[in-house]
């Protein structure tokens, strides 16, 4: 249970978060201040915000859960799935994003291609940010409810256990609303930097205590299956490694298409680099971000593996009641249990997943299904006494809220500039758009709350969002690649290519199914099943590969059939028509190319150490 000291730590954090919003208020005078921090932030701030914006609590909890399920191979999501893309966007793509003075990613598409390509991207992106934000809110409220840590103090205020969920949603929405409404993008970025340091502060002691308990990395290797501590073991074939995907699918699907599709085109992260104070800082932002990103597996994935390596916990014996029994009947003793099952063992400190009447859920082979998402919460509760526990929970809280805030700032910018200013009310004063941005913030949060409640009704909503991300981001990367590096790409080509890519993703998903899954949200919904994949991840990666390839090919074909724009209009937007950045005033080791190379070498070394 939570001790007052834990509450105090959390309230200190919330106090600072809101105070930062108010302190920034008087610096917001123009729409550029509100949406782009006046393009005035130092590279290190942008760099830390760049990774924190991406590091929502679903990632913190999800990566630990993956670590518990798949082991250190999860780090592929970082070392292959993020680092190369981050280096690429910093070295090669930022000159176009920053140099074009585009105020958003869709606006770059308008400058490079045409209005309809911008609209397609703006609308799909706006919808995705609302859902992402809502799901962040939902996941946080669910976790708070499941841990029962806030039940007692809230009960004193008259809140029932069911009400804890609603209180969490409302309070988190209000806090984010205050600091984004008053502080704009700067409010969000400053809080993201705060979140970064809190995550390190909260999780470093956890990893240290956990490793000490299991006897260090070598000790951990003896306590868990071998493939969990070797990232590259069995990667030649899909069925010899825990991820269920072979190295080609991993490299192309994750390493290339999905990862570049996200880090290079998602405005949520690119916006943080656009807020930098000059081109050099903007290019260094993703590279600065790549350094801590590389070491994050040690902070968030290791606790999951350690959780598996600790001695098995056995759950309490459970009494199973007939379906429909109410809590009142149980406590009054009116109904007797039909059976009392002995406690079920999980693995390490990961408990089995329980259904609504208290039974452990089992898969088709009779094996217990584990509740991997509880890896981090259980680790925190196990190792952290009161005081430090408050800090750990605050770090989780900070991650959830910055996940929400990042999506809200991306939404209000894309809405105001790419949808409202472009199509609904062009030519108004800057003060008008600043007002619109604030209104969009309120509306964005209200819609997110709606999305959070939708998630309670449709429990597949997270899977759906993952799917839509793959459908939209994968082809988008092909569009950007051709747009930035091939001057012959045209607007018609880009638009048709994007749509074809999204359709190809949908068709591929509808005609394939992972092993063991039922046709529906997991695939195979087009009736026929042309292929079976060894895992969901493999299906996901190959959907991305097909989507990207289709968009790439179709864009080229349609571009060659349509008229391109004048070359002078494309100066600064395409590689071959833009003077190269020389950065002569910067020391050689601080130049983007050198920093990028250094980052890649470090990542390669980490891969070798943990192979």
Partner 1 sequence: MGLDIRWPIGYMFLIMGIILAAYGLFSDATIYAQSLGMNVNLIWGAILGAFGIVMLLLARSGKKSQQKI
Site stretch for partner 1 (CB under 8 A), options 201-209, 303-311, 319-327, 567-575: 201-209
Query: What is the Cα gyration radius of the chain?
Result: 25
- 235: which DSSP letter? T
Q: List the Cα angle 160/162/163 in 5-degree steps.
A: 60
Contact between 186 and partner 1 per CB under 8 A = yes
CB-neighbour burial class of residue 332 (10 A; exposed 0-12, middle 13-18, buried 19+): exposed
In the bound state with partner 1, the residue whose beta carbon lies nearer, of 225 and 385, is 385
Q: Show the binding pattern over residues 363-382: x = contacts partner 1 (CB under 8 A), - = does not.
A: -------------------x
**Among residues 7, 40, 99, 313, the one that binds partner 1 under rule CB under 8 A:** 40
**Among residues 384, 433, 542, 548, the one that binds partner 1 under rule CB under 8 A:** 384
**Window 211-250: residues binding partner 1 (CB under 8 A):** 212-213
In the bound state with partner 1, the residue whose beta carbon lies nearer, of 186 and 550, is 186
**Among residues 41, 111, 288, 494, the one that binds partner 1 under rule CB under 8 A:** 41
Q: Rounded to whole angstroms, how far apart are CA atoms 169 and 137? A: 6
**Among residues 159, 209, 422, 462, the one that binds partner 1 under rule CB under 8 A:** 209
**Window 18-37: residues binding partner 1 (CB under 8 A):** 19-20, 23-24, 26-27, 33, 37
Three state DSSP letters for 305-374: HHHHHCCCCECCCEEECCCCCCHHHHHHCCCCCCEEECCCECECCECECECCCCCECECCCCCECECHHH
In the bound state with partner 1, the residue whose beta carbon lies nearer, of 362 and 382, is 382
Shortest approach of partner 1 to residue 368 CB, angstroms? 26
Shortest approach of partner 1 to residue 41 CB, angstroms? 6
Outline where DSSP puts E strands in 147-228.
Answer: none
**Among residues 108, 190, 372, 480, the one that binds partner 1 under rule CB under 8 A:** 190
Contact between 386 and partner 1 per CB under 8 A = yes
Copy the structure tokens of residue 437. Answer: 């941005």
Shortest approach of partner 1 to residue 44 CB, angstroms? 10
**Among residues 126, 258, 388, 414, the one that binds partner 1 under rule CB under 8 A:** 388
Q: Rounded to whole angstroms, how far apart are CA atoms 546 and 511? A: 12
- Is the CB of residue 408 less than 8 Å from the CB of residue 192? no
Query: Could you tell me the CA-to-CA distances from 181 to 2, 434, 437, 442 in Å, in that order?
Result: 31, 11, 9, 8
- 580: which DSSP letter? P
Contact between 65 and partner 1 per CB under 8 A = no
**Among residues 38, 67, 297, 534, the one that binds partner 1 under rule CB under 8 A:** 38
- Collect all residues with Cβ–Cβ distance below 8 Å to 321 and sequence separation of at least 6: 329, 330, 335, 337, 338, 357, 358
- Is the CB of residue 439 less than 8 Å from the CB of residue 512? no
- Collect all residues with Cβ–Cβ distance below 8 Å to 326 and sequence separation of at least 6: none
Shortest approach of partner 1 to residue 233 CB, angstroms? 31
Site stretch for partner 1 (CB under 8 A), options 4-12, 116-124, 352-360, 370-378: 4-12
**Among residues 9, 63, 85, 143, the one that binds partner 1 under rule CB under 8 A:** 9
Q: Which residues bind partner 1 (CB under 8 A)?
A: 5, 8-9, 12-13, 16, 19-20, 23-24, 26-27, 33, 37-38, 40-41, 45, 186, 190, 193-194, 197, 201, 205, 209, 212-213, 382-388, 391
């Amino acid at each position: 249970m939570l001790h007052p000291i834990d509450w105090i730590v959390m309230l200190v954090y919330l106090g600072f978060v809101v105070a930062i919003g108010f302190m920034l208020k008087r610096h917001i005078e123009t729409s550029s201040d509100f949406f782009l921090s006046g393009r005035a932030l130092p590279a290190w701030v942008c760099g830390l915000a760049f990774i924190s914006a991406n590091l929502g609590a679903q990632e913190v909890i999800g990566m630990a859960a993956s670590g518990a399920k798949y082991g250190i191979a999860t780090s592929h999501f970082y070392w292959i799935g993020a680092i190369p893309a981050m280096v690429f966007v910093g070295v090669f793509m930022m000159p176009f994003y920053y140099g074009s003075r585009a105020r958003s990613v869709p606006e770059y598409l308008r400058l490079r291609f045409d209005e309809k390509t911008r609209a397609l991207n703006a609308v799909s992106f706006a919808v995705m940010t609302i859902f992402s934000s809502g799901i962040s809110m939902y996941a946080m409220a669910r976790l708070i409810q499941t841990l029962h840590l806030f039940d007692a103090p809230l009960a004193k205020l008259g809140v029932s256990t069911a009400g804890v969920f609603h209180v969490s949603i409302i309070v988190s929405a209000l806090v984010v609303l205050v600091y984004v409404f008053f502080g704009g993008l700067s409010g969000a970025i400053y809080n993201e930097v705060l979140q970064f340091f809190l995550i390190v502060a909260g999780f470093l002691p956890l990893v240290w205590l956990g490793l000490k308990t299991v006897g260090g990395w070598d000790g951990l290797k003896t306590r868990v299956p071998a493939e969990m501590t070797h990232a590259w073991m069995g990667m030649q074939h899909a069925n010899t490694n825990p991820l269920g995907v072979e190295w080609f699918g991993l490299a192309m699907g994750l390493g290339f298409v999905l990862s570049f599709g996200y880090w290079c085109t998602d405005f949520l992260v690119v916006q943080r680099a656009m807020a930098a104070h000059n081109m050099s800082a903007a290019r260094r932002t993703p590279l600065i971000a790549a350094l801590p990103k590389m070491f994050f597996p040690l902070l968030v994935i290791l606790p999951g593996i350690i959780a598996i390596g600790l001695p098995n916990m056995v759950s309490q014996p459970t009494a199973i009641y007939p379906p429909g029994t109410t809590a009142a009947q149980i406590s009054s003793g009116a109904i007797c249990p039909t059976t009392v099952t002995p406690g079920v063992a999980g693995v390490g400190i990961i408990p089995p997943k329980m259904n609504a009447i208290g039974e452990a859920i089992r898969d088709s082979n009779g094996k217990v299904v584990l509740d991997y998402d509880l890896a981090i919460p259980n680790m925190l509760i196990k190792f952290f006494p009161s005081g430090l526990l408050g800090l750990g929970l605050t770090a989780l809280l900070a991650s959830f809220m910055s996940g929400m805030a990042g999506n809200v700032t991306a939404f209000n910018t894309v809405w105001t500039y790419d949808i409202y200013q472009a199509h609904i009310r062009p030519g108004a004063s800057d003060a008008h758009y600043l007002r619109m941005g604030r209104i969009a913030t309120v509306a964005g949060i209200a819609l997110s709350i709606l999305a959070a409640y939708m998630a309670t009704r449709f429990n597949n909503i997270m899977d759906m969002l993952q799917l839509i991300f793959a459908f939209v981001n994968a082809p988008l990367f092909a569009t950007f690649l051709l747009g930035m590096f091939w001057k012959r790409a045209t607007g018609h080509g880009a638009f048709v290519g994007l749509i074809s890519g999204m359709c190809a993703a949908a068709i591929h998903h509808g005609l394939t199914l992972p092993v063991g899954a039922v046709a529906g949200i997991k695939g195979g919904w087009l009736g026929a099943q042309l292929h079976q994949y060894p895992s969901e991840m493999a299906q996901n990666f190959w959907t991305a590969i097909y989507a990207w390839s289709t968009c790439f090919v179709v864009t080229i074909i349609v571009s060659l059939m349509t008229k391109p724009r004048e070359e002078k209009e494309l100066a600064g937007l395409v590689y071959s028509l833009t003077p190269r950045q020389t950065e002569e005033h910067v020391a050689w080791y601080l130049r983007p190319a050198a920093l990028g190379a250094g980052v890649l070498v470090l990542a390669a070394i980490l891969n070798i150490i943990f192979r």
